[in-house]
Each structure stands twice: as structure tokens, then as C-alpha cells.
């Protein structure tokens, strides 16, 4: 599966998954945001098509520190996109996911102002209405569109200590994001077993007849002979 935009390198499914996984798991620290940006320069998070609508949005909401400060703007943008991705990642209802997707697209469209004039539609039946062609999707939009289409594979690691719990599962029974985290699952299974059956197992071991040391030594001598 390949997604092409203008003269950029094609976006493969693996690259889109890498971006989405990193986005949902990115930390709030400035260093984490900076590393995220450097890893995904091909997603053009500071392009005019992204900056213009979201800068307007953030200023309207009182985040005046983003004016003229790329780092402050980028941090707020990434945290906003992270919240949207996490919400869609864990939403079970399809309508909820599509509503979030529509809302995100609407925010990006704020700067385009490509509204269709419908004031005369119900007056003059002779009008032939032609919708404007859709613009080329931004890389961020491609990523969220991919998230919608592959929501059946989004999962959350069952290891409570996992530092990056959002992941794309390779199979529907996969409960942990990695082999390392799956070790937690094995330990937890053993812990629950011992908690439920440990007392009975120890009691059964006490009821077993014990071999005498004398019998054990005779057996050892026979084996040597």
C-alpha cells in the first residue's frame, strides 16, 4: 500500500504505522517533541497548510505563547494530534472514530475557506452545481486515514509498565506490544496460578511419602555396581 503526495517520497504502510505509533506514545517533554519532529520531517508538521489553521485555533483558545515560536507551536500541535490519535485508537464505536476524523479535517480546512455558496440553490432550479475538486491530502491526514482503515489492528499493551503501550497488533490475539512485555504476561500468569492453586499444591506435596536416606543410598550403590 503506497500513498503518494506531490514530489515527496511515497508513504508506505510501514511508515504511516511508524508515525502513528510514535505519535500516540510521544512524551510531553520538549526533548521528546523535538526528537519526534526530527524523525518525521517528511510529514511537514510546520508547513503553511498546518501552521495557518492551527495557529489560528490555538490563539483563539488563548495560547498566545505560540505566536512566533515554532517550538511552542510544535509542542502544542503534537500534543493535540496525540490526543486525537489516542482517542481514535481506543474508540470502539465506528461513528465516534469518524466524527473525530471529520473534526480534524475541519480544523485543517479552516485556512482554506473553500465554502460552497448555496444561497441560491433553492431559488433557481436551473443552476448546475459543481463541487470543487478535493485538495491533495496532507501527510498527517494520510496517517489518520490509515488509522481509520486499520483500526481493527490498533491495540494497547497489557503490561502496565510499558513505556509505549499503543501499537499495531500483528494478530488479533496479541496482548503485548513486544517480546519483552510478553514476559510480564508470563510472570503474571504464574503469579495468578500460585495465588489460586499454590496452597493446594504445597499441601499435596506434603502428603507424598518421603524416601528415606538409607533407601536412597542403597539405590545409588546399585547404580554404581
Dump strand ranges (E) for the chain: 2-3, 11-12, 154-156, 166-168
Give per-10-residue mean pLDDT for the chain (225 aa): 46 95 96 95 92 91 89 95 96 93 88 56 63 82 95 93 94 89 70 53 60 54 53
Which residues, 6+ apart, have CB-to-CB distance to 90 below 8 Å? 154, 156
In which residue are the cell numbers 500483528 written? 170
In the Cβ-directed half-sphere of 215, how many Cα atoms lie within 13 Å? 4
Give the span between the Cα atoms of 111 and 131, in whole angstroms.
18
Domain residue ranges in the chain: 2-114+135-174, 175-205
pLDDT for the residue 219:
52
Q: Are 5 and 137 a contacting pair, CB within 8 Å?
A: yes
| Distance set, CA 60 to CA 46, 70, 83, 204 (Å) | 19, 17, 19, 70
Provide the 10 A C-beta neighbour count for residue 109: 14
Give the span between the Cα atoms of 112 and 141, in whole angstroms.
15
pLDDT for the residue 189:
64
Nearest to 55 by CA among 112, 108, 13: 108
Nearest to 3 by CA among 178, 104, 12, 136: 12
Which residues, 6+ apart, have CB-to-CB distance to 101 below 8 Å? 88, 144, 145, 148
pLDDT for the residue 197:
46
Amino acid at each position: 500500500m503506497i500513498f503518494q503526495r506531490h514530489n515527496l517520497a511515497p508513504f508506505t504502510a510501514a511508515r504511516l504505522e511508524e508515525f502513528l505509533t510514535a505519535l500516540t506514545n510521544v512524551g510531553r517533554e520538549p526533548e521528546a517533541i523535538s526528537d519526534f519532529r526530527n524523525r518525521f520531517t517528511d510529514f511537514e508538521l510546520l508547513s503553511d497548510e498546518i501552521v495557518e489553521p492551527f495557529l489560528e485555533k490555538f490563539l483563539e483558545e488563548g495560547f498566545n505563547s505560540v505566536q512566533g515560536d515554532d517550538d511552542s507551536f510544535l509542542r502544542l500541535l503534537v500534543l493535540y494530534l496525540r490526543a486525537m490519535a489516542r482517542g481514535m485508537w481506543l474508540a470502539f464505536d465506528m461513528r465516534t472514530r469518524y466524527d473525530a476524523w471529520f473534526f480534524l479535517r475541519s480544523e485543517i480546512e479552516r485556512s482554506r475557506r473553500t465554502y460552497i455558496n448555496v444561497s441560491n440553490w433553492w431559488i433557481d432550479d436551473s443552476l448546475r452545481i459543481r463541487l470543487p475538486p478535493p485538495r491533495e491530502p496532507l501527510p498527517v491526514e494520510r496517517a489518520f486515514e490509515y488509522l481509520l482503515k486499520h483500526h481493527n489492528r490498533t491495540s494497547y499493551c497489557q503490561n502496565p509498565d510499558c513505556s509505549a503501550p499503543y501499537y499495531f497488533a500483528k494478530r488479533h490475539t496479541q496482548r503485548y506490544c513486544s517480546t519483552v512485555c510478553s514476559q510480564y504476561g508470563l510472570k503474571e500468569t504464574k503469579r495468578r496460578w500460585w495465588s489460586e492453586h499454590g496452597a493446594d499444591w504445597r499441601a499435596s506435596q506434603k502428603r507424598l511419602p518421603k524416601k528415606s536416606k538409607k533407601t536412597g543410598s542403597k539405590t545409588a550403590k546399585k547404580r554404581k555396581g
